Amino acid sequence: QVHLVESGGGSVQAGGSLRLSCEVSGFTARRNCMGWVRQRSGQKREALASIYSTDDFTWYADSMKGRSYISRDTTDNLFYLQIRNLTPDDTAMYYCAALSRTGFEACTTPGIFTHWGQGIQVTVSP
């Protein structure tokens, strides 16, 4: 059974940074992508970044470009999202997610992912 568990959330002051971690277990697909999605209060889920297993290609949403970095550690089955220059607008529940790719799926929308973590809250204060 696939499990994804987020850590590293919490409260941060505006202008600060954080690193979210996701521990993955039971996920054996060799062709995959891992991603981060967030949901702000009252809004739809929003894909933030993804990384592909085939060549470590990365994708970032416009809101994350230039201030975030997604990475993975295949040895420890972990992947990360670092975000800097946080603002109160980044306050949200953050989820890690995974997809076993069978073709050339673009991991750029929340609906593409098939496995999800429980989510972790990030609160950015002014």
- Calculate the dihedral angle through the C-alpha atoms of 103, 105, 110, 115, rounding to the nearest 10 degrees: 20
Residue 66 backbone class (left: φ over 0; alpha: ψ -120 to 50; beta: rest): left
**Per-residue pLDDT band at 28 (split at 50, 70, 90):** confident
Position 37 scores a pLDDT of 98
Report the alpha-carbon distance of residue 8 to residue 31 in Å, rounded. 26
Report the alpha-carbon distance of residue 121 to residue 98 in Å, rounded. 19
Position 90 scores a pLDDT of 98
Amino acid at site 30: R
Report the alpha-carbon distance of residue 70 to residue 83 in Å, rounded. 9
